[in-house]
Structure 1
Amino acid sequence: MNYIHRRTISFQNLNSFLTLYRQDQDQHRLISTPFSSVFYCTKGESENQGKVYQEELRRNALWTACYAEDYIIQLYLADLGTTRERRKLLFDVGSNKGYVLAAWKSIWSPQNGVNQRSLGKYLSEKLLLSDCGVCNDCNEPLLSTKVNISRHMNVSVEIHAFEPQLSNYGILHQVQKWTNDTYLYVHNLAISNYTGTAVLLKCGRGGEACGLTVEKNLTDTERFLLVNVTTLDTFVQKFQITEIIDILKIDTEGYDPLVLTGANLIFKRQQIRLLIFEHHHVGFWASIHLRDVVENLDSKGYTCYMLGKTGLIRITRCWSSLFAEKRWSNVLCVLRNDERLRYFIEKLLISSTL
């Protein structure tokens, strides 16, 4: 058994009160436990959630693989007039070339002119990297065309980008210089469920599909490299980050469950407002069930949804077996106690769903 497997914590070993969450779904029922303001779907309603999901995928096979970034707009709108309006703390685990960072900056730092399209142009013209992103990110509609953004608002935006691939880390460093953003911190780190080192499959310049591996043959330096690894719990403790993290986005090519395990404390204390992670059949997802991950997050006060091109479909307490298919998909979760944010996020629910 390799060192990664020894440190793996199965989401199936959840504490006993999760049995409350698997009940006969023959009627709506609120549970008198903390964070219980989300009702259960009936069995029929859960099946409908799954059918709507299936229909969206029939129309667009990449519906949830390449999702819309409208959640960013909803967070922006939710925070207008609140204490979070002028301060944003954002974590991007697996930043690749920085297209998600560019989308964030287009909303909260619009005066800099950084967005997915300008980043694509910079990568192509200055770094000679003609790579638009796996989801054609550089041609995405600008978020600033969908909502009225104040270009004179003084927002403090702190972004932590984690990228273990040396080639992409170098690209992100160049992007940081291009944006001239002293509060964009680029970390050459892999994030997992332990602190130490790990073996990473090498990707070519700009590549997005290479993650950690159980391979130990470090003599093959053409294919593998040794990288430093830490947990999010350790990272926030080391840098004394105690404030709310507005967004945590995770894209680690199959190691997202381990990132979540290594963030157990920050989720327990509800330090994350919005979470996005990727789900498919690669890496540790091959042996971990999405439902177990969703129920674990539910126990910590988070409601999760399938995130897609046309909106959201709730999966927390509305589970359908159709959600279990291990296809390339993305899940968004919101802190239930943040009722204003949840209200705005649920404006993205597809109309025929709950």
Structure 2
Amino acid sequence: MSRLNESGRGYTACTKHHWLQNLAALGQYGAGKATIIDIGCNRGYFTSTALNYWAPGFGNHNQLVHKSHQEGGLYGPGACGICWDCSHGPDKPVTLQPQREVDVHCFEPSMWHQRALAAAKAALYGPEDAPKTDKGTAVRWKILPLAVSNATGVARFPANCTHEECSLASTTELFDVNITTVDIYMREAVIPYVDILKIDTEGFDPAVLAGAYNTLRRHRAEVLSFEYHDFWTRSGGTLRVCMDYLEELGYTCYYDAPLLYKLTGCWDPRYEIKDWSNIVCAVRGSEIEADMNALTVLRQRAVNSTAVA
């Protein structure tokens, strides 16, 4: 608890999402297709990290995306991301069978990020209607110039933003961005189910989760991944309220770190650290929830104690 409470920024902010490999392994015997909704796609490194396990035939997707960003020159020395995301990758060679198809729905309001993502997509994966298939997986990466919240509308967004916190940028140059919700997009795009719903909206994650109510209530997203930090004051959210909401909808949540810290059913006021962190949640009773429980700090301590004894 002390490590999380005192070092949340370092311990769970720049997490490598170790559970992704477990999720990919569970999908080995499925339909051969995986789907990601990535809200706040930014430079694309969350999705590229997942693709390391779902589409291993390409090699290290983080490095490939980074190379494209470097060649494009839009980010300068910041192409790797604030967490040095481009250096992330599997700890050992991936032996999983590739998925036949991976559909990525990438929501990114920033025109600057859209340009960089479009260049990476074209170079690595090809167009959505004719994706490259020579690496064993057809990756259809759809870039959506939209914001996501709990209601539709129009937002004013900073132009020419190149960093991770575009919605916080102070500038007089703004442009209109249409807003949708997860529930509306799932219905309009005819998406029955997503493996991962990832949210990174610099403080508006609670609003996005509210707009995903029906998707979550029906367990049409197997795993949620979202950020939590002091920016949540922008939308009036607290971690405790969010955990109660997701528990009622049938999700078990954890602080996402090298070892997971279980939140659901284990609430401690000290978990409200109000610092840059990552949360991951799984449908209660699912196989991936069981895998995540095995990755928690308490379970690992028990395993290690047994091994020593």
Superposition TM-score, scaled by structure 2 size: 0.86
Q: Which has the higher contact order (CA 8 A, sep 6+)?
A: 1
AA of the residue aligned to 1:164 = P
1:228 aligns with 2:173: no
SS, match of residue 211 in structure 1: helix
- Could you tell me whether the CA contact under 8 Å between 2:106 and 2:141 is conserved in 1? yes
Question: What SS does structure 1 have at the residue aligned with 2:37?
Answer: strand
Q: Shift of the alpha carbon at 1:247?
A: 0.3
Residues 279, 329 of structure 1: 8 Å contact kept? yes
Aligned-residue Cα RMSD (Å) equals 2.3
Percent of aligned pairs sharing the same letter: 29
Are positions 1:239 and 2:215 aligned together? no
Indicate conservation of the 8 Å contact 2:56/2:94, yes or no: no
SS in 2 for 1:343: helix
**Equivalences for 1:76-225 in 2 at 5 Å?**
76-80=24-28, 82-84=29-31, 86-127=32-73, 129=75, 130-131=77-78, 132-140=80-88, 142-143=89-90, 145=92, 147-150=94-97, 153-181=98-126, 182=128, 183-202=140-159, 204-205=161-162, 207-211=163-167, 221-222=172-173, 224-225=174-175
CA distance in 2, matches of 1:326, 1:353: 29
Displacement of 1:125: 2.8
Per-residue Cα deviation, 1:90-117 (whole angstroms, up to 9, x for no partner) = 1100010111121122211122235112
2:131 is matched with none
2:284 to 336, 340, 344: 336
- With over 3 angstroms needed to count, the CA separation of the structure-2 counterparts of 1:235 and 1:284, relative to structure 1, is farther
Q: In the alignment, does 2:242 pair up with 1:293?
A: yes
Aligned position for 2:294: 347
CA distance in 1, matches of 2:34, 2:260: 23
Q: Does the Cα contact within 8 Å between 2:8 and 2:273 map onto a contact in 1?
A: no
- What secondary structure, in the 3-state scheme, does the structure 2 residue paired with 1:145 have? coil
TM-score (norm 1): 0.75
Q: Which residue number corresponds to residue 68 of structure 1? A: 16
Asked which structure has the greater CA Rg, the reply is 1
**Does residue 253 of structure 2 align to residue 304 of structure 1?**
yes
1:288: how far off?
Answer: 1.7
| Stretches of structure 2 lacking an aligned partner (at least 5 in a row) | 129-139, 304-309
**d(CA) in 2 for partners of 1:302, 1:271:** 12
User: Would you tell me which structure has more helix in proportion to its own residues?
Assistant: 2
